[in-house]
Amino acid sequence: MNAPAPALPAERDADVLVIGAGPAGLHAAFYAAWRGLNVTVLDARHEPGGQLTALYPDRRVYDVPGLPATPAADVIAALVRQLDGLPVRLRPGTLARTLEPDGDGWRVGTTGADGPRTFRTGAVILAAGLGALLPREARVPGTHPDVRTDVPDPARLAGRRVLIVGGVPQATRAALELAQAGAQVTLTHRRAGFRGSPAELDALSEAGRSGQLTVLAPAVLLNVTPTGAALTVDGQPRDVPADTVLILNGYLPDLNPLQSWPLQWQGEYVPDGPDGRTALPGVFVVGDLAASGQDFKLISVGLAQAAVAANHAAHHVRPELRVRPGHSSEKRLS
Amino acid sequence: MNAPAPALPAERDADVLVIGAGPAGLHAAFYAAWRGLNVTVLDARHEPGGQLTALYPDRRVYDVPGLPATPAADVIAALVRQLDGLPVRLRPGTLARTLEPDGDGWRVGTTGADGPRTFRTGAVILAAGLGALLPREARVPGTHPDVRTDVPDPARLAGRRVLIVGGVPQATRAALELAQAGAQVTLTHRRAGFRGSPAELDALSEAGRSGQLTVLAPAVLLNVTPTGAALTVDGQPRDVPADTVLILNGYLPDLNPLQSWPLQWQGEYVPDGPDGRTALPGVFVVGDLAASGQDFKLISVGLAQAAVAANHAAHHVRPELRVRPGHSSEKRLS
Please write the tens of the pLDDT for every residue from A152-187: 999 999 999 999 999 999 999 999 999 999 999 999
Q: How many CB pairs under 8 A join A and B?
A: 149
- Which chain B residues are within 8 Å of A167, Cβ to Cβ? 334
Name the E strands within chain B: 14-19, 39-42, 60-61, 70-71, 88-91, 94-102, 105-112, 117-126, 132-135, 147-148, 161-165, 184-188, 213-216, 219-225, 228-233, 236-241, 244-247, 251-254, 283-285
- Say yes or no to pLDDT of A323 above 90: no
Position B32 confidence tier, pLDDT thresholds 50, 70, 90: very high
Q: How far is CA B168 from the centre of its chain?
A: 15
**What residue ranges define each of the domains in chain B, with the CATH number in brackets?**
14-134+252-330 (3.50.50.60), 137-249 (3.50.50.60)
- Say yes or no to pLDDT of B242 above 80: yes
Name the E strands within A170-310: 184-188, 213-216, 219-225, 228-233, 236-241, 244-247, 251-254, 283-285
Interface test with B, best of A2, A74, A82 (most B CBs within 10 A): A82
Angle at B33 between CA B31 and CA B37, to 5 degrees: 125
Inter-chain contact B60–A329, Cβ cutoff 8 Å? yes
Position A334 confidence tier, pLDDT thresholds 50, 70, 90: very low
Q: Which of B287, B329, B281, B330 is nearest to B308 (CA)?
A: B287
- Integer Cα distance of B260 and B270 in angstroms: 12
Angle at A157 between CA A151 and CA A160, to 5 degrees: 125
Inter-chain contact B64–A66, Cβ cutoff 8 Å? yes
- Say yes or no to pLDDT of B9 above 80: no
Position A332 confidence tier, pLDDT thresholds 50, 70, 90: very low
Q: From the list B34, B167, B300, which residue is nearest A304 (CB)?
A: B300
Q: Which of A19, A42, A219 is nearest to A128 (CA)?
A: A19
pLDDT at B186: 98
Position B293 confidence tier, pLDDT thresholds 50, 70, 90: confident
The model's pLDDT over B104-128, given as tens digits with 9 standing for 90+, comes to: 999 999 999 889 999 999 999 999 9
Instruction: Check residues A294 and A41 and name the one with the higher pLDDT.
Output: A41
What percent of chain A has pLDDT above 90?
87
Helix (H, G, I), strand (E, B) or coil at B64: coil
- Say yes or no to pLDDT of A291 above 90: yes
- Which chain A residues are within 8 Å of B330, Cβ to Cβ? 59
Please name the residue of chain A whose CA is at the shortest distance from the CA of residue B253. A333
Sheet with B219-225: list strands edge to edge. B219-225, B228-233, B236-241
- Say yes or no to pLDDT of A328 above 90: no
- Integer Cα distance of B194 and A70 in angstroms: 36
* Across B245-260, average pLDDT: 94
Position B6 confidence tier, pLDDT thresholds 50, 70, 90: low
Q: How far is A6 from chain B (nearest CA, A)?
A: 21
Inter-chain contact A82–B68, Cβ cutoff 8 Å? yes
Residue A218 preceded by cis peptide, ω within 30: yes
Task: Give the CA-trace dihedral at A95, A98, A99, A105, to 10 degrees.
Answer: -60
- Provide the total of helices (H) and of strands (E) in chain B, helices listed first: 6, 19
pLDDT at A128: 97
Inter-chain contact B66–A72, Cβ cutoff 8 Å? no
Q: How far is A56 from chain B (nearest CA, A)?
A: 6
Which residue pairs, CB below 8 angstroms and at least 24 apart, start in A172-176? A172/A196, A172/A200, A172/A201, A172/A204, A173/A200, A174/A246, A174/A248, A175/A204, A175/A207, A175/A213, A176/A200, A176/A203, A176/A204, A176/A207, A176/A213
pLDDT at B334: 33
Position A196 confidence tier, pLDDT thresholds 50, 70, 90: very high
- Whole-number mean pLDDT of chain A? 93
- Integer Cα distance of A230 and A245 in angstroms: 12
Q: What's the half-sphere exposure (Cβ side, CA atoms, 13 Å) at B334?
A: 20
- Say yes or no to pLDDT of A222 above 50: yes
ipTM: 0.90
The model's pLDDT over B173-228, given as tens digits with 9 standing for 90+, comes to: 999 999 999 999 999 999 999 999 999 999 999 999 999 999 999 999 999 999 99
pLDDT at B268: 94
- Integer Cα distance of A239 and A163 in angstroms: 11
Inter-chain contact A334–B250, Cβ cutoff 8 Å? yes
Q: From the list B55, B59, B328, which residue is nearest A62 (CB)?
A: B328
Q: Which of B32, B17, B7, B5 is nearest to B312 (CA)?
A: B32
Sheet with A219-225: list strands edge to edge. A219-225, A228-233, A236-241
Inter-chain contact B67–A67, Cβ cutoff 8 Å? yes
- Which chain A residues are within 8 Å of B303, Cβ to Cβ? 65-66, 300, 303-304
Q: From the list B56, B59, B304, which residue is nearest A303 (CB)?
A: B304
The model's pLDDT over A197-220, given as tens digits with 9 standing for 90+, comes to: 999 999 999 999 999 999 999 999
**Range of lowest pLDDT (A291-305, B167-181, B267-281):** A291-305
- Integer Cα distance of A121 and A101 in angstroms: 10
Helix (H, G, I), strand (E, B) or coil at A215: strand
pLDDT at B155: 93
- Which chain A residues are within 8 Å of B301, Cβ to Cβ? 304, 307-308
- Say yes or no to pLDDT of A331 above 50: no
- Integer Cα distance of B109 and B196 in angstroms: 35
pLDDT at A8: 77
What percent of chain A has pLDDT above 70?
96
Inter-chain contact B195–A65, Cβ cutoff 8 Å? no
- Whole-number mean pLDDT of chain B? 93
Q: What is the enclosing helix (H) or strand (E) of A59? A: none
- Say yes or no to pLDDT of A9 above 90: no
Position B333 confidence tier, pLDDT thresholds 50, 70, 90: very low
Contacts of A305 (CB under 8 A, 6+ apart): A24, A272, A276, A286, A287, A290, A293, B304
Q: How far is B303 from chain A (nearest CA, A)?
A: 7
* Across A6-31, average pLDDT: 92
Q: Residue B234 phi/psi, 5° resolution?
A: 55, 40
- Which chain B residues are within 8 Å of A62, Cβ to Cβ? 2, 34, 328-329
